[in-house]
């Protein structure tokens, strides 16, 4: 196996963290380390298989650039790995779905079968593999050694070096059924069947069988040899189902589609995502800015109780920034909202801080500050029932209002 930079990354994880994971899943530390290495190999192999899709690679680079190298260590230290609803696991699941689509469940089963871990544990290890790969690619982007043009070659080299770490069933191909036929001399076969029925044959019948055998041999030896042509039919490769994108609250946003912008930029956006809704409003001359046409971000994630954006949020923010650059006359108000749990004053401050974080992020992406206004509304204007967990999740949101276009 060639040397791989990624293969050694799992060894850099703190020993205490590995012990904690192993204890939580009831597995040995060796099993956990082997599973993480297999997960890294699986993710890199999946990325390499999609290296021909420039739009997909562009999104990977954006997400990788926003993923810190210590993302996994941070998740281990704050308990995100053992919380199925944590942004770390939900964001990783979404990223893995964009790579593997409908194959993700079978890949998780393959990893679980290899390690002897249950599906939940295998999913967590895949999440670690995904974030490790993203963090490492991000570091390469930041130091200038990897770009959109060199990423396919980088992935190919790493994938080849890591192939020995893949779960066995990940690359197992169906074994072709042999078409070789064994020639059976019909006279000999007949003689065997007769021998089975009778223990002693008359010597005249024996001589007759011998004569027939010799005659058959002479006939076959004088026939022209026909060369067997190899079967060159290329087996059909099944077309993988397109990956679907899931919102931060678990809503199916559909598959990725192309959206052309006036400045010749083409975005890859979810077919039912907020980017498309915002574009439709901006393009429609009959729709004018008002005070009620709010558009909810659907792929933003914050740390719990904090205004810190999760790395998975960068993809949607990049898309919004690209739309604003293509339509320079558009101005936005960014509204922050919370549910009604806890202190109202603290909720109001948190909503304002989160709106400020989004505006600041858009500024760093090249959008002028005078085109953006941040406003926190706290628990005002709920869009769902605060008495249910699902309703509260919907009420915790960031929205956009077009104030000029």
Q: Which structural domains are found in the chain, ordered by start?
A: 6-170 (no CATH), 248-404 (3.30.1330.60)
- How far apart CA 337 and CA 290 sit, in angstroms, is 19
In this structure, of 105-119, 173-187, 243-257, the range with the lowest mean pLDDT score is 173-187
Place of tokens 């893995």: 96
Lowest mean pLDDT among 117-121, 264-268, 300-304: 117-121
Listed residue (14, 169, 55, 34) closest to 103, CA to CA:
169
pLDDT at 209: 59
The confidence score (pLDDT) of residue 317 equals 97
Phi-psi sector, 203: left (phi>0), alpha (psi -120 to 50), beta: alpha
How many Å apart are CA 344 and CA 87, to the nearest integer?
Answer: 24
Query: Which residues lie below 8 Å from residue 256, measured CB to CB, with a gap of 6+?
Result: 55, 56, 98, 242, 243, 245, 268, 269, 270, 271
The answer to whether 94 and 246 have CB atoms below 8 angstroms apart is yes
Task: Decide if pLDDT at 346 tops 50.
Answer: yes
| Percent of the chain surpassing pLDDT 70 | 74
User: Which has more confidence, 138 or 325?
Assistant: 325
Q: Model confidence over 76-125: pLDDT tens digits?
A: 666 776 666 677 777 787 888 888 877 887 888 888 888 888 877 888 88
Q: How far apart are CA 136 and CA 235, in angstroms?
A: 36
Mean pLDDT of 315-335: 97
Lowest mean per-residue pLDDT among 152-161, 172-181, 299-308, 353-362: 172-181
Look over the chain and give the mean of its residue pLDDT values, rounded to a whole number: 80
| pLDDT value at 165 more than 60 | yes
In terms of pLDDT, which residue wins out, 257 or 104? 257
**H runs (alpha helix) in 185-288:** 186-197, 203-221, 274-283
Instruction: Give the confidence band of 215 by pLDDT, cuts at 50, 70, 90.
Output: low
Least confident among 24-28, 305-309, 330-334: 24-28
Residue in this structure with the two tokens 């070659």, named with its chain if needed: 153
Measured over the CA atoms of residue 124, residue 96, residue 255 and residue 142, the dihedral's sign is: positive
CB 67 within 8 A of CB 40: no
pLDDT band at 187 (very low <50, low <70, confident <90, very high): very low
Question: Which of 68-77, 203-212, 222-231 holds the top average pLDDT?
Answer: 68-77
Average pLDDT over residues 247-267: 93
Q: Provide the β-strand partners of residue 254.
A: 245
273 vs 108 pLDDT, higher one = 273
Rounded CA separation 17/14 (Å): 5
At residue 176 the predicted structure's pLDDT band, cuts being 50, 70 and 90, is very low
In the prediction, which pLDDT does 403 show?
97
- pLDDT confidence band for 171 (50 / 70 / 90): low
Residues in the chain: 405
Out of 138-142, 167-171, 192-196, 260-264, which region has the weakest mean confidence (pLDDT)?
192-196
Q: Is 325 exposed, middle or buried (0-12, 13-18, 19+ CB in 10 A)?
A: middle
Strands 331-337 and 397-404: antiparallel
Residue with the larger pLDDT of the pair 69 and 68: 68
Torsion on CA atoms 15, 19, 20, 26, rounded to nearest 10? 160
In 328-388, beta strands by DSSP E:
331-337, 372-376
Cβ atoms of 118 and 25 closer than 8 Å: yes
pLDDT over 90 (residue 148): no
Q: Which of 156, 165, 136 is nearest to 37 (CA)?
A: 165
């Amino acid at each position: 196996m060639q040397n791989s930079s990624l293969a050694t990354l799992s060894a850099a994880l703190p020993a205490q963290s590995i012990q904690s994971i192993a204890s939580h899943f009831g597995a040995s530390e060796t099993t956990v380390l082997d599973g993480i290495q297999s997960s890294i190999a699986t993710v890199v192999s999946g990325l390499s298989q999609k290296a021909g899709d420039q739009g997909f690679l562009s999104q990977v680079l954006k997400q990788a650039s926003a993923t810190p190298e210590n993302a996994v260590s941070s998740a281990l230290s704050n308990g995100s790995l053992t919380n199925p609803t944590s942004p770390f696991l939900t964001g990783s699941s979404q990223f893995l779905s964009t790579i593997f689509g409908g194959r993700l469940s079978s890949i998780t089963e393959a990893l679980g079968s290899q390690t002897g871990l249950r599906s939940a544990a295998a999913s967590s290890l895949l999440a670690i593999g995904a974030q490790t790969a993203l963090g490492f690619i991000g570091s390469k982007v930041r130091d200038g050694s990897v770009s959109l043009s060199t990423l396919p070659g980088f992935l190919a080299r790493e994938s080849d070096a890591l192939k020995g770490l893949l779960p066995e069933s990940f690359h197992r191909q169906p074994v072709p059924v042999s078409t070789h036929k064994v020639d059976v001399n019909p006279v000999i076969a007949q003689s065997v069947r007769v021998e089975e029925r009778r223990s002693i044959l008359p010597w005249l019948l024996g001589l007759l069988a011998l004569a027939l055998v010799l005659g058959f041999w002479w006939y076959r030896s004088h026939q022209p040899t026909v060369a067997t042509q190899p079967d060159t039919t290329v087996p059909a490769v099944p077309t993988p189902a397109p990956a679907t994108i899931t919102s931060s609250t678990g809503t199916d946003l559909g598959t990725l589609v192309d959206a052309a912008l006036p400045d010749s930029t083409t975005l890859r956006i979810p077919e039912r995502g907020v980017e498309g809704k915002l574009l439709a409003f901006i393009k429609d001359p009959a729709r004018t800015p008002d005070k009620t046409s709010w558009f909810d971000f659907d792929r933003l994630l914050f740390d719990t109780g904090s205004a810190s954006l999760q790395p998975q949020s960068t993809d949607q923010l990049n898309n919004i920034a690209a739309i604003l650059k293509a339509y320079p006359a558009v101005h936005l108000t960014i509204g922050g909202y919370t549910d009604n749990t806890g202190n109202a004053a603290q909720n109001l401050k948190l909503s304002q801080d989160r709106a400020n974080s989004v505006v600041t992020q858009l500024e760093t992406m090249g959008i002028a500050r005078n085109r953006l206004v941040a406003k926190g509304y706290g628990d005002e204007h709920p869009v769902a029932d605060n008495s249910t967990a699902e309703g509260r999740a919907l009420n915790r949101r960031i929205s956009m209002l077009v104030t000029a276009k």
